[in-house]
Structure 1
Amino acid sequence: METPVKAPLLALLTGTTVSLAGTAMTALSIPWFVLHTTGSPAQTGLVAAAGVAGLTVSSALSGPIVDRIQPRLVSIGSDLVAAVLVGLIPTLALAGALPLWALVLVVALQGLTRAPGATAEDALLPSAARVAGVPIARASSWQEGAARTGRFLGGALVGVLIALLGPAQVLYVDSASYLVSVLMTAVFVRVHLERDEPKPWSVAGHLTELREGLSYLRGDGLLAAVVSMVMITNMLDGAYTSVLLPTFGDRVLHSSVLLGVLVGTSTAAALAGVIAYGAIGGRLPKWGTYAVAFLLAGAPRLVVMAAAPPLAVLVTTIAVTSFAFGAINPILLSQLFARVPETMRGRVFGVVSAGALAGMPVGALLGGAVVELFGLTSALLLSAALYLTVTMCPFVFRVWRRLDEPVPV
């Protein structure tokens, strides 16, 4: 039976939602597990840094692979390996055979699987959208909405599941989510990309293709500015997600359930922001929207958290700042899809992902060290000051005005 034309796009979005729900659980359950096992924010940062380091390395290497192999096969293979590795963590923990070095190793290996799958999904989206007859700007907004929905479901459930099952056992749920994503991609996502004739693989050739992606990126001043800014903000977000937020839940909220409330509120508000931008974003100036949204999304939540206000104030602040964040990625994704030729997307997207992620291991390590040495409040305020400095850049440098240039839809 012929696959309906919209099935590949719907399956791609569904698989993104399911797998990211599990990934959101992992993002909190592993730090919570390390904190409660070792009591050390520094060791928590080390484990998180290992995972993001693996993700960063694979981002640099995955682009030429996706350009050489059909992205559908890359996505399936990455999710299968990830399912095995994530399921291995609770299995070893239950057997009493998971020392810190082993956890660092498994998390790093699991990080290596994430970028090929994510790059493949990004490369598949324009073709799936074209088959479905959906403009790429709308499809990219839907993809961001699917990702936010997955993170919301994972964030809303993880606190309760940690309380009921324990932080290690929650990872079995994550492992199952990767298998669901494999099934959706294997059965329904049957699209192929236009590509140049592949060359025989070699280390030199692989590095050449990476240089081609980097050269294309450097030739577009706006895309280079995007990667530079996001690399720094992701470094700060790496510290926030991996160390500051779990430590805040442990030392200030004293509850994995309340921590889940914060994460669920953040992802729900960000999803609302994505939906709102999808509805009216076409009528808004992209530069002004991006600049104001990033300014609101960064520093304010960190300052409020440092003050340890009542829960209602905290939840409201997280909701407002996360709603603002919902407009950022759809703007950036639509720029990438419009500015990068289809035959170059694997190479360029891989370099973009690696650049955006390069600061996150550093952020996780530094975040853990700063909390260990100076305390949580000092770490939150320092992060807020750095975030404010970076998010002023779109107001200062004119290259960001190019966001308002007309792009194909």
Structure 2
Amino acid sequence: MTAALATPVRRLRPLILINLAALLSATGNGITIVALPWLVLQQTGRATDAAIVAGAAALPLLLSSLFSGTVVDRFGRRITSLVSDSFSAISVAAIPIMAATLGLSVPLLAVLAAIGAVFDPAGIAARESMLPAATRESGWSLDRVNSTYEASFNVAYLIGPGVGGVLIGFLGAVNTLWVTAACFALSIGTVLLLKLDGTGTPDRETRPASMWTGTVEGLKFVWQSRLLRTIALVDMAIVALYMPVESVLFPAYFTKLDRPTQLGWVVMAMSVGGIIGALAYGALAARFQRRTMMLVAVSGLSVCMVGMAFLPSLWVILTLGVLIGLVFGPVGPIANYAMQSRSPEHMRGRVVGVMTSSAYAAGPLGYLVAGPLIDSVGIQATFFGLAIPLVLVAAVCFGLPALRELDR
């Protein structure tokens, strides 16, 4: 009996370690989502400054995420994940060190945020590229593996912002960042334990000739795939309109109310719904069309954002947050499925990197528009300015024929 149980556990070990590493790394980022804007707003009280720091963290991601997949395919998945988390840990730990020595300013925080974020896409692409091999090892279906992996991310953004909000209240925003550095260090330790075929240095014949040619190959592959191209463009629109809600609007709103813990609760509510939605995808994929779930996700997100724009009571915001996570939870697994099922093994890192960069390309635009808008017209008007275009994006999705390829 013991030997029979040991075999399934051994087969699941790579999948468990990949999910744990993703959980720890994303938890660190989840804490930062709350702590860094709070730190900036405490110092200056200006939403524009918080948006500048958020934009500084997002802007380098456009270039780094574009090349991140080529890094993975050129140097290997395991080493890329380790190096990515190492740089993230160092950059985050530098903030409390600088606070205790030289002092902090908005430009310095922007630089450190940029350094910390620039290596994240490579780590994400590396871990996502490992999933098909872990799928074969585990004996699970690809839908089930993607469902579990995306749920791990949502668990991280449940733990991270909640812990971050509580720790800010007890330790302050600066000292809270030490916990972030510890999360990245634990992720490094987890990946060091991982042994899985295809995660080492790629064969010379399959490696991209250079960073530039490898990235161009990835861009061509994604653009020539009608499905991947459509998903990338839809994702860009959603990120530009939705991400400022978590990173700028709600931090500004709850800072004005002086309630950091409630900010953590709202982000946690979204993550709770996301966990349920992502886990449910593994079962729903066998019963419903992926296109149908994608349309429900985008439509549900837009309706909930319109509701949030009215800035209702906390309990209504929390309910809408859960609904956002619930309907949008399957989107990550669906996008992963599309990338994994349409990319050859030796190009998987590049495909993931290009698809990720499309989302990061929209981030800086959303942040840098939302901050000045809040300062000029207020939080509620800015909220409506983002929510209404998202309703239009949802309407357009119903007429996109490429999404039908999700079920072919």
User: TM-score range with shorter-chain normalisation?
Assistant: over 0.9
Q: Determine helix, strand or coil for the equivalent of 2:140.
A: coil
- Map of 2:292 onto structure 1: 288
Report the counterpart of residue 348 of structure 1 in structure 2: 351
From the superposition, tell whether residues 160 and 264 of structure 1 become closer, same or farther in structure 2 (CA, over 3 Å): same
Work out whether residues 265 and 315 of structure 1, in 8 Å CA contact, stay in contact via their aligned partners in 2. yes
C-alpha separation in 2, matches of 1:293 and 1:96: 46
Q: Does 1:244 align with 2:255?
A: no
Structure 2 contact 308–320 (Cα < 8 Å) conserved: no
Asked if the contact 2:73–2:208 (Cα under 8 Å) also holds between the matched residues in 1, the reply is no
Query: Contact between 2:294 and 2:331, CA under 8 Å: does it hold in 1?
Result: yes
Query: Corresponding residue for 1:222?
Result: 227
Do residues 257 (structure 1) and 274 (structure 2) align? Answer: no
Percent of matched pairs sharing the same residue:
28
Q: How does 1:328-343 map to 2 (within 5 A)?
A: 328-343=331-346
The structure-2 alpha-carbon separation of the partners of 1:367 and 1:348, relative to structure 1 and needing over 3 Å to count, comes to: same
Task: Give the corresponding residue for 2:211.
Answer: 206
Name the TM-score, length of structure 1 as normaliser. Answer: 0.93
Q: What number of residue pairs does the alignment pair up?
A: 400
Shift in Å, 1:199: 8.0
Shift of 1:22: 1.5
Q: Look up the match of 1:278.
A: 282
Residues 1:309 and 2:309 aligned together: no
Q: Which runs of 4+ in 1 moved over 4 A?
A: 193-196, 198-202
**1:145–1:189 distance in 2 versus 1, CA, 3 Å:** farther
Residue by residue, what CA displacement relative to the aligned partner does 1:63-100 show, whole Å, maximum 9, x if unpaired?
A: 11111112101101111111111111122123352222
| Post-superposition offset of 1:60 | 1.1
SS at match of 1:271: helix
* 8 Å Cα contact 1:153/1:264 also seen in 2: yes
Aligned equivalents of 2:313 and 2:112: distance in 1? 38
**Contact 2:309–2:387 under 8 Å retained in 1:** no
Find the residue that maps to 2:173 and give its secondary structure.
Answer: coil
The whole-number CA distance in structure 1 between the counterparts of 2:250 and 2:179 is 22
- Counterparts of 1:87-106 in structure 2 under 5 Å? 87-106=93-112
Q: Is the 8 A contact 2:143 2:285 kept in 1?
A: no
Which residue in the other structure is 1:111 paired with?
Answer: 117
Aligned position for 2:4:
none
Q: How does 1:20-169 map to 2 (within 5 A)?
A: 20-169=26-175
Residue in structure 1 matched with residue 402 of structure 2 by the alignment = 399
Residues 41 and 372, structure 1, Cα contact 8 Å, conserved in 2: yes
- Three-state SS of the structure 2 residue aligned to 1:315 is helix
Q: CA deviation at 1:54?
A: 2.0
Mapped to 2, the partners of 1:148 and 1:139 lie a distance apart of 14
Q: Could you list the runs of 5+ residues in structure 1 that have no partner in the other structure?
A: none
Distance 1:92 1:31, change over 3 A: same
- SS where residue 10 of structure 2 aligns? coil
Distance 1:22 1:98 in 2: 21
Distance 1:64 1:50 in 2: 23
Corresponding residue number in structure 1 for 2:364: 361
Query: What is the CA–CA distance in structure 2 between the aligned matches of 1:48 and 1:68, rounded to whole Å?
Result: 30
